[in-house]
C-alpha cells in the first residue's frame, strides 16, 4: 500500500505527459504555428493600404497585425486541448487515470501544461518572425517578454475553454466542429482595424463587447504605443477572466465525468 500521493507530485507528472504528448505530435504543432503566420503574411500584403487611413495608429501593417497571430494561436489551443481530452475519454485513458488516487485539480492543471508549452513556443516564434518581417516593438525587450506572458495567458484561457468543451465531448471530432464558430468570434473583434476606425455600427458594438478585442489591443499596445497600463490591464483581465470561467466549467464537467464512487 502506498501513501496518499501529493498534488505536487501528480501535477508535474501529468504536466510532463501533456508536454511530451504535444511535442511528439508535429502534426499538431506545425499547423497551429504556421497558419497564423500565413494569415499574417496575407493580411500584411493585402491590407497594407489601411495604414493610410486617417487615425491609423502605425504605418507598418505587419506591426499592427502581428498581435492577431497570438490570438489565432489561441483557437488552436481550444481545439488542441479539447481534442486531447476527448481522445483520453474515447480511448479509455481517462478511466486509467480515474483508477488511480488522482486529484481532479492535478488532471486539469496537467492537461493545460502542454497548452502552455505550445503557447510559449508560438509566442517566441511570432515575435522572431515579426521582427524579421519588419515589425517593431515599441516597448522594447521588456515589452517582448510581457507579450510572451500575455500570449501564454491567452493560450491558457482558450485552452481552458477547450478543456471545458472536451470534458463534455465524447469524440475529438465534436471538438473540432467548434473551429468555424470560434473563428467567426475572433473576426468580430478589432483584429483588422482599430475599433474607432470601424465604420459599421453593429460591428463596432460587437467588437467593443468582444473580449478578444481587449486581448488584441493589450498585445498591440506593446507593439505600437509602448507601455499602456490600461490596455495591458484589460488584456490580462480578459484573458484571466476567460481562464477563470473556462476552469470553472471544466471543473464542473470533470465532476460530472468522474462518476467514480
Partner 1 sequence: MPSRNGVQPQSNGIEVNGLVRVFKGGVRAVDGIDLEVRPGEIYGFLGPNGAGKSTTVHMLTTLLPPTAGSARVAGHDVVKDGAAVRDAIGAALQEAALDPNLTAREHMRLQGALHGMSKGERTKRGNELIDRVGLSDAADRKVGGYSGGMKRRLDLALALLHGPRVLFLDEPTTGLDIQSRTALWDEVAHLSRDDGVTIFLTTQYLEEADQLADHLGIIDHGKIVAAGTPDALKAEVGRPTVEVVPTDHAERDRAVELLEPFGELVPGTPQGAAVRLEDGGEELANIIRVFDQAEVRIANLELHEASLNDVFLTKTGRSLEGAQREAAEEGETGEQPALEGAPA
In the complex, the residues that contact partner 1 under the rule CB under 8 A are 1-6, 9-10, 13-14, 16-17, 20-21, 24-25, 91-102, 259-261
Of the pair 240, 258, the CB lying nearest partner 1 is at 258
Of the pair 1, 132, the CB lying nearest partner 1 is at 1
Tell me if 219 sits within 8 A of 67, measured CB to CB.
Answer: yes
Nearest to 36 by CA among 64, 67, 61, 78: 67
240 Cβ contact list (under 8 Å, min separation 6): 153, 157
- At its nearest, how many Å lie between partner 1 and the CB of residue 1? 6
Residue with cell string 475529438? 172
How far apart are alpha carbons 63 and 44 in whole angstroms? Answer: 9
Of the pair 113, 135, the CB lying nearest partner 1 is at 113
Tell me if 84 sits within 8 A of 226, measured CB to CB.
Answer: no
Tell me if 147 sits within 8 A of 232, measured CB to CB.
Answer: no
- At its nearest, how many Å lie between partner 1 and the CB of residue 173? 17
- Give the three cell numbers for residue 47: 491590407
- At its nearest, how many Å lie between partner 1 and the CB of residue 201? 46
- At its nearest, how many Å lie between partner 1 and the CB of residue 164? 19
- At its nearest, how many Å lie between partner 1 and the CB of residue 163? 17
Of the pair 13, 230, the CB lying nearest partner 1 is at 13
- At its nearest, how many Å lie between partner 1 and the CB of residue 116? 17
How far apart are alpha carbons 77 and 74 in whole angstroms? Answer: 5
Of the pair 100, 200, the CB lying nearest partner 1 is at 100
Of the pair 50, 97, the CB lying nearest partner 1 is at 97
Nearest to 115 by CA among 144, 79, 91: 79
Amino acid at each position: 500500500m502506498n501513501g496518499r500521493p501529493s498534488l505536487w507530485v501528480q501535477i508535474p507528472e501529468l504536466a510532463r505527459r501533456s508536454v511530451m504528448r504535444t511535442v511528439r505530435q508535429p502534426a499538431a504543432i506545425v499547423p497551429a504555428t504556421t497558419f497564423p503566420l500565413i494569415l499574417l503574411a496575407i493580411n500584411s500584403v493585402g491590407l497594407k493600404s489601411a495604414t493610410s487611413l486617417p487615425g491609423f495608429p502605425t504605418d507598418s501593417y505587419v506591426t499592427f497585425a502581428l498581435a492577431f497571430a497570438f490570438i489565432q494561436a489561441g483557437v488552436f489551443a481550444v481545439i488542441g486541448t479539447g481534442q486531447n481530452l476527448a481522445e483520453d475519454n474515447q480511448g479509455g485513458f481517462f478511466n486509467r487515470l480515474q483508477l488511480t488516487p488522482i486529484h481532479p485539480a492535478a488532471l486539469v492543471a496537467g492537461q493545460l501544461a502542454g497548452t502552455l508549452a505550445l503557447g510559449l513556443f508560438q509566442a517566441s516564434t511570432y515575435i522572431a518572425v515579426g521582427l524579421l518581417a519588419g515589425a517593431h516593438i515599441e516597448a522594447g525587450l521588456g515589452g517582448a517578454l510581457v507579450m510572451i506572458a500575455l500570449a501564454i495567458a491567452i493560450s491558457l484561457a482558450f485552452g481552458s475553454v477547450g478543456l471545458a468543451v472536451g470534458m463534455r465531448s465524447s469524440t475529438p471530432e465534436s471538438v473540432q466542429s467548434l473551429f468555424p464558430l470560434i473563428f467567426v468570434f475572433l473576426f468580430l473583434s478589432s483584429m483588422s482595424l482599430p475599433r474607432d476606425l470601424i465604420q459599421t455600427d453593429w460591428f463596432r458594438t460587437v467588437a467593443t463587447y468582444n473580449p478578444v478585442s481587449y486581448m488584441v489591443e493589450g498585445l498591440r499596445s506593446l507593439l505600437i504605443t509602448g507601455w499602456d497600463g490600461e490596455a495591458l490591464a484589460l488584456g490580462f483581465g480578459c484573458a484571466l477572466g476567460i481562464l477563470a470561467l473556462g476552469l470553472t466549467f471544466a471543473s464542473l464537467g470533470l465532476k460530472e465525468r468522474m462518476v467514480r464512487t
